[in-house]
Amino acid sequence: MDRDGAAEIIEYDDFARVDMRAGTIVEVQEFPRARVPSYKVRVDFGDELGNRWSSMQAAKDYQPDDLMGRTVVAVVNMPPRNIAGFQSEVLVLGVSAEDGGLSLLHPGRGARVGSRVY
């Protein structure tokens, strides 16, 4: 975004470099060391990528049971990021919900685990 709030124009090749995949949350752990209420989640991306961990700022909007088995969309080709001593390997994507909370992105009619977003 630029200073006026408009999205910066990128080329298709820039977008194509971002590897977004569908994955299933298979483990949820409390993350009390995080500044913002968060969970540590393990996401299964299938045989090609396997399981990856992410820190997810979702503890105010989702209960652990709501997340287990949920298919989400994540960026999988960013370098790991240290968050309160935890290595977050992927970025699970979400948007602002109408109530100001978090709404996780997920495929609308199911998706094969590990499939790429185009």
The CATH number that applies at residue 45 is 2.40.50.140
Structural domain count of the chain: 1
- Cβ atoms of 44 and 24 closer than 8 Å: yes
Q: Is the pLDDT of residue 5 over 70?
A: no
- Give, in order, the Cα–Cα distances in Å from 66 to each of 22, 25, 62, 106: 17, 10, 6, 13
Query: Phi/psi zone of residue 2: left (φ > 0), alpha (ψ -120 to 50 degrees), beta?
Result: beta
Q: Is the pLDDT of residue 63 over 90?
A: yes
Residue 99 lies in domain: 19-104
Which percentage of the chain shows pLDDT scores above 70? 96
Average pLDDT over residues 29-54: 97
Better-predicted residue by pLDDT, 4 or 81: 81
Residue 110, in any domain of the structure: no
- 4 pLDDT tier (thresholds 50, 70, 90): low
Across all residues in the chain, what is the average pLDDT?
A: 94
Residue 115, in any domain of the structure: no
- Cβ atoms of 78 and 32 closer than 8 Å: no
Distance CA 71, CA 24 (A): 4
Q: Which two tokens stand for residue 7?
A: 């999205």
Distance CA 32, CA 117 (A): 32
